[in-house]
Chains A and B, each alone.
Chain A
Amino acid sequence: MSQLATDNASTQDRVIVKKNVKPVTSYLWPALVYVLLILGVIIVVVPLMWAFAASFTPNHKVFEYAYPFSWRALFPVNFTMEAYDNLFERGFGRAVGNTFFLAIATVIIGGAANALAGFAFGRFEFRGKQFLFLAAIMLTFMVPVDLTAIPRYILVNNFGWINTWQGLLVPGLANSLVIFLFRQFFAEIPQELIDAARVDGASWLRVLVSIILPISKPVLVAAGLLMFISQWNSFFWPLLIAPRQEMRVVQVEISLAIGQYGTVWNELLAGSMIAAIVPILLVMPFQRYYVQAITGTGLE
């Protein structure tokens, strides 16, 4: 039909014919997008669902539906809390507590130090600013901390900080990425806001606490999430610095469990799920802030 129409029609008719055909093909692209997205979702979600289900499964049944594969592998059909009970009986709660303590301390102490530095870089002109920013912030941002772990280890050893809270906490407090985030945010605050308070005779510290902080929720959430999650997920440094059992953090505990309890799969997965669920629950409600926090520097 359309063949006939195009054959003896003017160009105007041809446009109309094309327009009539278009809706069919225009559904193809969204359909392809959804198919690919769902394929990706399967790759993302299936391992997590299986691990979650297996952590609530008796150990001898962990692989029951994984090999040969059945959809039941993704749901805790043989539900038991056994793995979690055993895990916490063995003192996993201590590692969870340690990690929470470290992460919260990092957010509070590190957050204060990084915010002050970000404020100085974002709002003040002073001698050596450019140099300090390049040398201290950019350089430390670009050099991965794991690469310099051995001299840091020797330094911390000289301080007598092996197997101590200071050793775990202090080297990770200052974070150039977080300073960077604070600087960006503080630099965009209107000057009038600060001037008004300064005229009233408020000190800089007071301006920071009572004027700046209340309007800085986005950067505080972003920086807080970034510091909390990077401390929660940190592994290499705690592995080197605090191997003693009472000091272990979650990531170290699960990594050692793979050697010691390598065949107690449900406990290994239960520990992993606890290690995973905390950052997931924190990120989900604050997705936008978190995405901004991690991508913030890439676009500079």
Chain B
Amino acid sequence: MRLSRHIIPYLFLTPALVLLIVFNLAPTIATLVESAFVLSLRSGERVFAGFANYNRIFNDPVFWKSLQVTIVFSLLVNPIQILLALCLSILINQKLPGIGLFRSIYLLPIAVSLNVTAIVWGLMLDQNSGMINGILTQWGIARQPFLHSVDQALWSIIVIASWIGVPLWSLFILAGLQNIPPSVLEAAKIDGANAWQSFTKITLPLLRRVLAFVLVADTVANFLMFAPILLLTNGGPQLSTNLIMYETYRRGFLYGDLGASSAMLSVMLVIVFIIIGVELYVLRGQD
């Protein structure tokens, strides 16, 4: 009986670990390997192609355009979401009557899926009879094309993504705010710091770890933005919302070119690894 003590943890680990290795770890490695093959979904043939897939995507203007759109999207959506999430977390951290009710309401978007959000906001932003245009015309502003315009479609996707993203990330920052000992802020007040000073000199530095985590997690999540594109724009108009995750789906599953799709996913995986590497580096420096 005593001998089995050494086996027991491994027995407990086996089911979950086997599943993780087979369905998560192996595909991660395979994503990198698979990009060196050309595979046809229809014939099932799989031929070694070396860097041919990479050559193909790197010479493809649609891929570069997609990468460019993704970078622009990231540079806009992440700062916007984190800044608003920081503001929201400060608001719902106030000790005021009824704050619990507000916190509950702000949980609603987090429970709702991105698909539902995209469908509802897609209709809200409808260019002919959507509610947003209904409100705008009441204020004397002309109807806007939103998702049908090269200039506004990406911004519309940013709004849709932020409706979930802002309350979601504010929860993390709120948890960080609540971890700050009140005595520290009291001490600053006694020393004569005003609210702004104690925010920038004490609160923000103490939030650095949480903010670093949120920045990375938000960047990765938005890097993979997919459902609103599939449901609302199909990457258009004129590829202006053709985010990289949608491009891999289009290539792989609509055109059946899994080789090119895998090569793009490998590029994305490398980018994600770099982002995570930076996170680990930043967080290590804090301890």
Contacts and interface: CB of A to CB of B under 8 A. Distances in A.
Interface string B114-149: 111001111110101111011101100000000000
Interface in B186-228: 209-210, 213-214, 217, 220-221, 224, 226-227
A170 B23 contact: yes
B31 A147 contact: yes
Contacts of A147: 28, 31, 224, 265, 268-269, 272
Contacts of A254: 115-116, 119
A161 to B, nearest CB: 11
A48 B108 CA distance: 9
Nearest to B172: A298
A275 to B, nearest CB: 5
A209 interface: no
Contacts of B10: 120, 126
16 contacts: A37-B102, A63-B130, A66-B134, A113-B15, A117-B13, A135-B25, A144-B220, A151-B27, A174-B19, A179-B16, A204-B8, A294-B168, A298-B210, A298-B213, A298-B217, A299-B213
A258 interface: yes
A142 interface: yes
B278 interface: no
Interface of A: 30, 33-34, 36-37, 40-41, 43-48, 50-51, 54, 62-63, 66-69, 73, 112-114, 116-117, 119-121, 124, 126, 129, 132, 135-137, 139-140, 142-152, 154-155, 170-174, 176, 179, 204, 229, 232-233, 235-236, 240, 251, 254-255, 258, 265, 268-269, 272, 275-276, 279-280, 282-284, 287, 290-291, 294-295, 298-299
Given A48-B120, A276-B113, A117 B12 contact: yes
Contacts of B69: none
Contacts of B106: 40-41, 44
B80 interface: no
B25 A287 contact: no
Nearest to B103: A287
A299 B210 contact: yes
Contacts of B102: 37, 40-41
Interface string B10-52: 1011011101111111111011001000010000000000000
Interface of B: 6, 8-10, 12-13, 15-17, 19-28, 30-31, 34, 39, 87-88, 91-92, 94, 96, 102-116, 119-124, 126, 128-131, 133-135, 137-138, 163, 167-168, 171-172, 175-176, 179, 209-210, 213-214, 217, 220-221, 224, 226-227, 230-231, 245, 248, 252-253, 258, 261-262, 265, 268-269, 272, 276
B249 to A, nearest CB: 8
B171 A291 contact: yes
A152 B113 CA distance: 23
10 shortest interchain CB distances as A-B pairs: A151-B30, A69-B134, A174-B19, A117-B16, A67-B134, A124-B9, A233-B113, A63-B129, A148-B27, A151-B27
Contacts of A204: 8, 12
A68 B138 contact: yes
A282 B112 CA distance: 11
Contacts of B114: 233, 235
A142 B13 contact: no
Contact of B167 (A44, A68, A135, A170): A44
B272 A43 contact: no
B8 A150 contact: no
B227 A235 contact: yes
B258 to A, nearest CB: 6
Contacts of A149: 27, 265
